[in-house]
Amino acid sequence: MWLTDMQKIGVALTTFGGLFMALGVILFFDGALLALGNLLFVSGLFLIIGPQKTFYFFARKQKLRGTACFLGGILLVFLKWPFFGVVLETFGFLNLFGDFFPVILTFLRQLPFVGQLLNLPYIRNIV
């Protein structure tokens, strides 16, 4: 699968958004890093799948609760309530993107070192 230039930029923005959000949580819920991470993540997702598919992804009937929680969490981060915003945003993220976790797990199990690690007896039961 070949990515267009816009999709490559979107992957970079999404990656940096995830890194900034993780760094914001590690640094005791730093609001500026979390807000920047949210902006980068959402804009990267927009560039990866396009405007129309992004709208349809977030506006599907079965995803409305996740969308409301995710966007509400982003709003709370912008309103200087980073801890509660991240909690609400995480709940929304799991509702929105929870369907992708089995696909990601299958992909990770095919990688050389990570696949062997995930197939260890105790880890396999947890995963």
pLDDT tens digits, 13-34 = 999 999 999 999 999 999 999 9
- Is residue 11 assigned to a domain? yes
Q: Which residues contact 3 (CB under 8 A, 6 or more apart)?
A: 11
Identify the weakest region by mean pLDDT among 11-20, 33-42, 58-67, 96-105. Answer: 96-105
Q: What is the pLDDT of residue 120?
A: 84
Domain membership of residue 93 as a residue range: 5-98
Q: What is the pLDDT of residue 1?
A: 65
Number of alpha carbons in the 13 Å side-chain half-sphere of residue 39: 8
- Is residue 77 assigned to a domain? yes
- Is residue 10 assigned to a domain? yes
- Is residue 121 assigned to a domain? no
Specify the number of domains making up the chain: 1
Distance CA 13, CA 17 (A): 6
- Is residue 118 assigned to a domain? no
Q: What is the pTM of this model?
A: 0.82
Choose among 88, 78, 94: nearest CA to 33: 78
- Is residue 124 assigned to a domain? no
- Is residue 110 assigned to a domain? no
